Amino acid sequence: MKPTCGRLVSALLAACLAQPCSPARGAEEPHEPPHFSVPAPPGSLTFVVYGDTRFTQRERVANAFARRALVAGIGGESPAAILIGGDLVYAGDDPEDYATFSSETAQWARQKIPVFPALGNHEFHGCRASHDDSPCLENWWSAFGALRPWRWYSVSIGESLLALILDSDASLKAGSEQRRWLERRIGDADADARIGFLLILLHYPPVRDPVFPRGKDEGEVQRYLSQHAPQLRVRVIVVGSHVHNYERFSRDRVTYLVSGGGGAQPLPVLRVSGELSRLRTSVNFHYLRMTLEGARLTGTMVRFDASGTGGNAWSEPDRFEVTAATAPP
């Protein structure tokens, strides 16, 4: 085992979570999940969202060539922050996978780009058979010490966007600890006139290709939003991963995205049930470039073609806009 594994990843996260972003007031209170703030530069603000990177040295579980190309492409964007929707590693019980994440994203660390990950099912891979998640969570918190002992948290990106990072392997049912926190933060954001957008990031996507079965309680998020989002002032965007592809939907004034093309072996989707991107490609390694400019949030799917068949490997086949409301709907 490399003794620098935890140190490398912790150093990366320390750079990410300390500068340029910083914990907000109350972040160190043990009874409340941490909150981080990413300051807004002059003009527009760009950040990146994607998932299912599966950093590992194992073969046949991920396309390392595509994964590294996406990491380099994201670095070239110089985003204000990077949000990763779970399955950061392949095996959560293996510290070497976190070491691979650290080494392959060294460019991000040098650029001091904040990285904000969500827990996915592969963060628990290797622990579920023994019915003891604690070794996997210990690896997670060793890598991302600023999050200990919590599994969900929030991030302000600029003044106008609040991101709620959820753990979709923990209960999201009504009355659960995470659900109460989620509802409280949604209410607080809606009451804050400075916030125009609410981004909810979780691993299991609440809306996705119907062929794929539910993961756990992600359907509870859609049910809650379908009831409440039409009355909210803030505009809500939900990003999941888990399905190794890209999808976009609109339901009850909420934009739902699946961004699971970070490097894991691709999965085809049917693009039915109102899927809006209508992509013709079955393999879609990609990340989402999100640009905040005034009352407008623009999302662009940045696709990398790993086939090596010639031509420009990069394209932007899907784009959407969400406009913030100036008053309650």
pTM as predicted: 0.92
Q: What is the average pLDDT score of the chain? A: 90
Q: Which residue bears the tokens 């996915």?
A: 120
pLDDT tens profile 39-55: 988 889 999 999 999 99
Residue 70 has pLDDT above 80, yes or no: yes
How far is residue 15 from each of residues 19, 112, 134, measured CA to CA in Å?
A: 6, 6, 26
Nearest CA to 250 out of 231, 277, 288, 224 is that of 277
Q: What pLDDT does 142 receive?
A: 94
**SS3 of residue 313 by DSSP:** coil
pLDDT tens, residue by residue, 287-316? 999 999 999 999 999 999 999 887 899 999
pLDDT band for position 328 (cuts 50, 70, 90):
low
Query: What pLDDT is attached to residue 130?
Result: 84
Strands in 197-201's sheet, in edge-to-edge order, are: 22-23, 35-38, 153-157, 161-165, 197-201, 235-240, 254-259, 246-251
How many helices and strands (H and E) does the chain possess? 7, 14
Distance, CA of 107 to CA of 77 (rounded, Å) = 12
What is the homologous superfamily of the domain 5-16+37-323 according to CATH?
Metallo-dependent phosphatases (3.60.21.10)
List the 45-50 sheet strands across, edge first. 115-117, 82-84, 45-50, 285-293, 296-304, 314-323
Structure confidence at residue 327 (pLDDT): 59
- Spell out the domain ranges in the chain: 5-16+37-323
pLDDT digits over 231-262, tens only?
999 999 999 999 999 999 999 999 999 999 99
Q: Which of 85, 89, 84, 86 is nearest to 58 (CA)?
A: 89
Q: What is the pLDDT of residues 76-111, one digit of tens each?
A: 999 999 999 999 999 999 999 999 999 999 999 999
Contacts of 296 (CB under 8 A, 6+ apart): 321, 322, 323, 324
